[in-house]
Homo-oligomer: A and B are copies of this chain.
Amino acid sequence: MRKQIILQAFDMTAAMHNAHGLWKHPESRRHREYKSLDYWMELARLLEKGKFDAVFFADVLGVYDVYGGDEAAALRDGVQVPLNDPAFVIPAMAAVTNHLSFAVTVSTSYEQPFHNARKFSTLDHLTNGRVAWNIVTSYLPNAAQNFGLEKMVKHDERYQIADEFLEVSYKLLEDSWEEDAVIADPNSGVLVDASKVHRIKHKGTYFSVEGPHVSEPSPQRTPVLYQAGTSEKGREFAARHAECVFVGGPTPEKINYYIEDIKARAEAYGRRKDEIKAFTFLQVVVAETEEEAYSKYEDIKKYWSADAAKAQYGGSTGYDLAAYENEEELFTYKHTEQGQSRAAYLTKDAARPFTVKEIHEKFSKPAEMDIFVGSPEQVADQLEDFFVRSGVDGFNLTHYITPKDLQDFVELVVPILQERGLYKKEYKEGTFREKLYNRPYLRSGHPAKQRKRS
């Protein structure tokens, strides 16, 4: 059987995610409806109809306030603001689906591991094992200010905190409750066997958590772990912990390089290469014919907002494009202070430095190199070619006009991919991890499984 594409919808419970300016498009519904349960339940049904593996929710904890020195541009075009907490749409979306899984972003820089463990145990119970945690360390300076810090913690220390956060999480989720702790035997009168529930007694550099965990073991225990770091520290972290990684880059070959690099690092940590699945971003403009697709694309361009793109770029990279001269060159993005995002790759992975003028120009329209435009067959061809050359396991599908772009993809592209054997016709049974890896829990070589009970 051919290797099959794993497909995720990339989304955010915000008025707008990264379709800069497209809220103005007459068919865009999300900026009006993202606040309603009905919108998200309809989306869930659509994605399950299209046999999507998961919906992946990005998140931020502040505003993009670098471009122009404040958040005015971000607000004007709704760049990831207004924004709701993504975790709360999951239960309603789960209630109307059976197989679709849900990856949600939580930052280790601004959350407490005890809260977080209970949150994921709860979601994993309620969805019957259909959740994943996208681990981020947060890149927005404003987020730090919202949690009592004058300045962001430095990039490398954020990953040290993240490492300890994960250690505490594993102790709570994997070690605290033994598999058969819940007996619920009315005859003996024992609901929980107290000898099988353990305090974790964690005392570390950043966290002190006594335990026990309060939630009983959920179907997956630890949610499926996602990570998107492409900095040196980020890749090390992904290699140690992640089951799914996000990799961006200017070419399929560059993406393949990152994938192989992370997998090699994972092996150095005693993990197996096939314990990690790699995803990249995918943007599609598809219609019945090539001509219609390009006309749709021209229509999209009309609504594009360059300012919104620059606002996101500013928050993601730390570069305020309004503060540089046109001929200045920006090459190495400030990855020691910021995280990484799609926009950041523009300067990070380019073969040569870009001048600020060139970057301004690039943001004047949707980034064409990342978009597959065409008829259903043409899009499927491009997608298949990219899939084979890059070696990715799947895609995070973004969308300009929501939910229409996803509807079009489900109706026009999915059947062709299925026909070619590149995409499943039916879901596998089981939890998200069982669907991805044919096992309920993390492997024994994973750091989640490497502690001895004291």
Tell me if A234 is interfacial: C-beta within 8 Å of chain B. no
**Please, which residue of chain B has its CB at the minimum distance from the CB of A190?**
B76
A186 and B24 CA atoms in complex are apart in Å by: 5
Which positions 58-85 of chain A face chain B at CB distance < 8 Å? 60-63, 70-72, 75-78, 81-85
- Given A146-B209, A189-B76, A122 and B305 touching (CB < 8 A)? no
A75 engages B214 (CB within 8 Å) = no
Q: Give this chain's copy count.
A: 2
Tell me if A197 is interfacial: C-beta within 8 Å of chain B. yes
B23 engages A146 (CB within 8 Å) = no
Tell me the minimal C-beta distance from A432 to chain B in angstroms. Answer: 16
Tell me the minimal C-beta distance from A217 to chain B in angstroms. Answer: 9
Tell me if A92 is interfacial: C-beta within 8 Å of chain B. yes
The segment out of A45-53, A113-121, A287-295, A360-368 that lies at the interface is A113-121
B114 engages A61 (CB within 8 Å) = yes
Tell me if A87 is interfacial: C-beta within 8 Å of chain B. yes
- Given A72-B194, A92-B126, A146-B210, A119 and B85 touching (CB < 8 A)? yes
Tell me if A35 is interfacial: C-beta within 8 Å of chain B. yes
Chain A residues within 8 Å of B, Cβ to Cβ: 13, 15-16, 21, 23-24, 26, 31-32, 35-37, 41, 60-63, 70-72, 75-78, 81-85, 87-92, 94-96, 110-112, 114-115, 118-119, 121-123, 125-128, 142, 145-149, 177, 182, 184, 186, 189-194, 197, 207-212, 214-216, 218, 305
**Pairs A–B under 8 Å by Cβ, sample size 17:** A15-B191, A21-B189, A31-B184, A31-B191, A36-B125, A37-B91, A37-B127, A61-B114, A63-B212, A75-B193, A77-B189, A81-B214, A83-B215, A85-B122, A112-B147, A145-B210, A147-B209
